[in-house]
Amino acid sequence: AQTVTQSQPEMSVQEAETVTLSCTYDTSENNYYLFWYKQPPSRQMILVIRQEAYKQQNATENRFSVNFQKAAKSFSLKISDSQLGDTAMYFCAFMVPGVGSGAGSYQLTFGKGTKLSVIP
């Protein structure tokens, strides 16, 4: 079974500073995908960034980037130039395509989340 661990329940960062959220996962699969989702207080889950395990290059999306260490099974999220709108719960998630009771199942396994507060 796949597991995802986020060891930082809460973090805070000053506006315009950089913060890194940690995530580790456990799997015996070789082909999988990793995601960071953001859930603001309004509660709608939004995809922040994704990484394919077969790609060595770390994904980046504007101010968001990841440090993917496949051997260490680590997938951290770096947020640069933090903004007040970044305040939210951040969830690390893992997906093995096609794994499940039905062919083609694409189920996400989530960590428990990190609550990030950006301080003015």
Partner 1 sequence: ETGVTQSPTHLIKTRGQQVTLRCSSQSGHNTVSWYQQALGQGPQFIFQYYREEENGRGNFPPRFSGLQFPNYSSELNVNALELDDSALYLCASSSPGQGMSEQFFGPGTRLTVL
Q: Check binding of 40 to partner 1 (CB under 8 A).
A: no
Judged by CB, which is closer to partner 1: 12, or 18? Answer: 12
Residue pair 1/106 in contact (Cβ under 8 Å)? The answer is: no
Whole-angstrom distance, CA of residue 107 vs CA of residue 88: 23
What is the end-to-end Cα distance of the chain in Å, rounded? 41
**Residue from 10, 29, 52, 61 binding partner 1 (CB under 8 A):** 52
Who contacts 59 (Cβ-Cβ below 8 Å, separation ≥6)? Answer: 49, 50, 51, 65, 66, 68
Instruction: For residue 84, report the phi and psi dihedrals to the nearest 5 degrees.
Output: -55, -35
Q: Check binding of 101 to partner 1 (CB under 8 A).
A: yes
**Residue from 83, 112, 117, 119 binding partner 1 (CB under 8 A):** 112
Q: Is 65 helix (H, G, I), strand (E, B) or coil?
A: strand
- The contact pattern for partner 1, residues 66-95, with x = CB under 8 A and - = no contact, is -------------------------x-x-x
Q: Check binding of 110 to partner 1 (CB under 8 A).
A: yes
Provide the binding-site residues for partner 1, judged by CB under 8 A. 4, 33, 37, 42-47, 50, 52, 91, 93, 95, 97, 100-113
